[in-house]
């Protein structure tokens, strides 16, 4: 049996807006780990120099950094209790994947052109810098949006060759 966690209702989550290829909520791509920590009001924990990530587990936010300069290049949101992410009125975190399928398909037509399916079967819109991952919760998968900077966007759906650290693909 899969671990099942309570899904925090949207009204009890932080409400963040996503600006494709720029940032999400108080975070901007290109910030240092220290700037990210200050923006979130939390000390860094789980800093792993090999995998280039910092986990803010109490907030449900994982941050990923470029290996060459340790600046923010990716943000992943926990499906069960992370901030609710909105884009053009659409809620992206903690949803059933089938609820977002029509939006993703339409996004391929309206936002920079293509819908990609990665090796894990998860959809992404590279033109927006979005990978719509799935996070198992009990008998259901819930959406775990991963938003990336422009220099990571093109290969972000590819768990094999893409720039997102392997931790993201193996943990969730």
Handedness of CA 170, 132, 122, 29 (dihedral sign): negative
Handedness of CA 75, 80, 84, 85 (dihedral sign): positive
Give the pLDDT confidence score for residue 121 in this predicted structure.
85
For the chain, give the longest Cα–Cα distance: 41
Tell me if 16 is assigned to some domain.
Answer: yes
Token pair recorded at residue 65: 């950094």
pLDDT digits (tens, 9 = 90+) for 50-95: 568 888 888 999 999 998 899 999 999 999 999 999 999 999 999 9
| Higher pLDDT among residues 135 and 48, named by residue | 135
pTM of the model: 0.92
Tell me if 53 is assigned to some domain.
Answer: yes
Nearest to 123 by CA among 137, 140, 106, 138: 106
Domain that holds residue 161: 10-171
Tell me if 39 is assigned to some domain.
Answer: yes
Total of domains in the chain:
1
Phi first, then psi: what are they for 34, rounded to 5°? -70, -40
How many Å apart are CA 21 and CA 150, to the nearest integer? 5
Tell me if 3 is assigned to some domain.
Answer: no
Tell me if 127 is assigned to some domain.
Answer: yes
Tell me if 160 is assigned to some domain.
Answer: yes
Tell me if 4 is assigned to some domain.
Answer: no
Tell me if 71 is assigned to some domain.
Answer: yes
């Amino acid at each position: 049996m899969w671990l099942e966690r309570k899904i925090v209702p949207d009204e009890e989550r932080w409400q963040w807006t996503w600006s494709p290829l720029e940032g999400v909520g108080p975070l901007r791509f290109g910030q240092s780990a220290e700037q990210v920590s200050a923006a979130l009001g939390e000390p860094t924990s789980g800093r792993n120099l090999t995998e280039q990530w910092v986990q803010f587990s109490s907030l449900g936010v994982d941050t990923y950094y470029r290996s060459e300069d340790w600046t923010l290049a990716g943000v992943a949101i926990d499906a069960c209790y992370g901030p609710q992410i909105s884009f053009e009125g659409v809620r992206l975190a903690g949803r059933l994947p089938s609820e977002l399928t029509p939006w993703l398909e339409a996004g391929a037509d309206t936002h920079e052109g293509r819908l990609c399916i990665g090796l894990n079967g998860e959809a992404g819109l590279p033109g927006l810098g979005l990978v719509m991952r799935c996070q198992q919760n009990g008998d259901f998968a819930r959406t775990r949006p991963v938003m990336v900077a422009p220099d990571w966007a093109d290969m972000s759906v590819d768990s094999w060759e893409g720039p997102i650290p392997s931790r993201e693909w193996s943990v969730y």
